[in-house]
Amino acid sequence: MFSMKTKWVKFASDEKELNELLRGKECMPMKVNSKAVLLVKHDGEYYMVKNRCPHQGYRLDQAHCEEGAIVCPWHKYSFSLETGRGSGLYLENYPIEKREDGYYAGFEYFSLF
Ligand code: FES
């Protein structure tokens, strides 16, 4: 029987390191769990999304945020940072958890058990 599980991967030790990763920008491409992701800081909250637009597959390196959504620089489609939904498409996103020892991103996967 298949089930969905979440693998939590630590990507920063504290908020100082998070801000160093962002280098003062709103969006920063990086690799976490061998995936190309985009770390986003918008309205004081951190988000992580797949760095590939679901419209035509271009990278979101130069994306910006507006009213809780990330806007793709190529054709201006926007996707909710909370749900990934927008423009009839879905941008994969990864929850971020703050724990005692740092910040973790959650990646879902199918498991046989
Ligand atoms: S590739 Fe992102 S909106 Fe078209």
Is 74 touching ligand 1 by the criterion CB < 6 Å? yes
The neighbour count for residue 94, using CB atoms within 10 Å, is 23
31 CA from centroid of ligand 1 (Å) = 21
Higher pLDDT, 111 or 30: 30
Residue 67's Cβ-count burial label (10 Å; 0-12, 13-18, 19+) is exposed
Domains by residue range for the chain, with CATH: 3-108 (2.102.10.10)
Mean pLDDT score across all residues of the chain: 95
Pick the atom of ligand 1 nearest to 56's CA: 1
Residue 22's SS3 state is helix
Is the predicted pLDDT of residue 17 greater than 90, yes or no? Answer: yes
Is the predicted pLDDT of residue 113 greater than 80, yes or no? Answer: no
Is the predicted pLDDT of residue 102 greater than 80, yes or no? Answer: yes
- Does pTM top 0.85 for this prediction? yes
Q: What is the pLDDT of residues 74-98, one digit of tens each?
A: 999 999 999 999 999 999 999 999 9
